[in-house]
A and B are shown apart, each in its own frame.
Chain A
Amino acid sequence: MAHGGTSGISLHVRGLSKAFRGTWALRGLDLDLGPGETLVLFGPNGSGKTTLLKILSTLLRPTRGTGTLGGADLVREREKVRRRIGLLSHGSFLYEDLTPRENLVFGAAMRGGRPADGTIAAAIERVGLEAVADERVQTLSSGMKRRVTLARLLLNTADLWLLDEPYTNLDREATKVLEEVLQEHQEQGGMAVMATHNFLDGFKLATRLGILARGRLILDEPRESMTFPAFQELYTLRAEGGGR
């Protein structure tokens, strides 16, 4: 099964800011991400993680600043950008009256592709949903629905994956699948930006660690540059207390 892009494109963001009715959710954020990199963003609630992911996915327009993905402008060339991103969001994007299989087929079709024979079945099998693949989504548990969204990510061959709290409702087995899939995405040159509160799992997957606080990217370092306890300490100091 194909994951991630291998086109070697990169993401560049300069001075990105977003205000909602006069309140700044993001303030002058700069970011560069290259092939094979996974930036995991940590930050308290309301620090701007979801806003950043929504701007990168083109669902929101920035108030100020610019961004490009593979040279395509995030605002002016949204259609080009949309071909290159995969989004795993808070919302499941699932139709409750359709089955997981039908949702996956619809999702793939909406991205303009027709998955190769057996690809959807393989994705369903990989996330362990064979038994309920033809049941209506409304009959599934939250965890199973999350697995369906994970299966949709498996079908996505985009260059940049945007993952907002991907661990929510995932059990250990599904978390392992998510980690494997992301690893493969990285190895094939794909990029990912992930926002999470799950420190340990997020730290393991990251090639770069970021901390967002009050709309500012106050840390952006390679993961190799620090140990997990050191990162936790830094987070506590800069995002939750000392940085105020």
Chain B
Amino acid sequence: MSFLALTGQILRKDFRIEVRSREGVNTLLFFSTLLVFLFRFAIGSTETQVREAAPGLLWLAFILTGLWGMARTFQVERENDCLEFLRLAPGDLGGLYLGKLIVGCCLMWATELAILAMFGLFFHLDMWPVIGSLIPVLILGTVGFVAIGTLFAAITANLKAREVMLPLLLFPLMVPILLAASRLTDLGLAGDSLWAEAHWLRLLIGFDVVFVVLGYLTFPFVMED
């Protein structure tokens, strides 16, 4: 089975399960609302405070909700030993990684848009004029996060302490993404061009390429015992 066919099957299956159960989307939306609500009390409401903290808080919210999303991606496969069934698929298991990566990204993008809307609502920020600048940052930052997150979620899927191990492994590697994405989000929120600090953009793109390729190549080994 070609890796693209495998990717297609995983996409169809995971989206169908998500649409039917709505477990992932509902929990992510509820969790992200709660986070933004707490941030509102934590940083106060003066315009300067909000403006300075917004980029970091936004990415903190994305990563915390995304972390739950990553774990959820493989939770579905743990039930009834479905992961074993996937491992038995005679084909390039890199396709499975790609499928999980796309599903994870879509789930996160949906949540990120909701978080942006709630952020605007809770902090009285008009996000609409800057959304065009923010979207490329959301796309690039999310791909990098999910690329590495999917790999580590698979590694920790069968561990007893997976809830602890996943963030422990993932967070240190997230630092470059967090730095670059926060800085670029800052530019975006200010309405400046992302190319004003092109080195952050290049770092984010480089990180995405490296981790997507690395994830694709190593995932089949991760899936084996």
Contact = CB atoms under 8 A, between A and B. Distances in A.
Interface in A108-153: 109-112, 136
B72 to A, nearest CB: 13
Contact of A112 (B84, B86, B90): B90
Nearest to A79: B90
A93 B1 contact: no
B91 interface: yes
**Chain A contact surface mostly:** loop
B90 A107 contact: no
A46 to B, nearest CB: 19
A57 interface: yes
Interface residues of A, number: 30
Residue among B21, B76, B82, B85 with max Cβ neighbours from chain A (10 Å): B85
Given A107-B85, A110-B6, A95 B90 contact: no
A30 interface: no
B139 interface: no
A242 interface: no
A209 B193 CA distance: 74
Contacts of B202: none
23 contacts: A59-B84, A60-B225, A61-B224, A61-B225, A80-B90, A91-B84, A91-B85, A93-B80, A93-B81, A93-B82, A93-B85, A95-B76, A95-B79, A95-B80, A96-B79, A97-B20, A98-B13, A106-B9, A109-B9, A110-B9, A112-B1, A112-B5, A136-B20
Interface of B: 1, 5-6, 9, 12-13, 16-17, 20-21, 76, 79-82, 84-91, 224-225
Given A95-B80, A106-B12, 9 more contacts: A59-B88, A80-B90, A85-B88, A93-B80, A93-B82, A93-B85, A95-B13, A97-B17, A98-B20
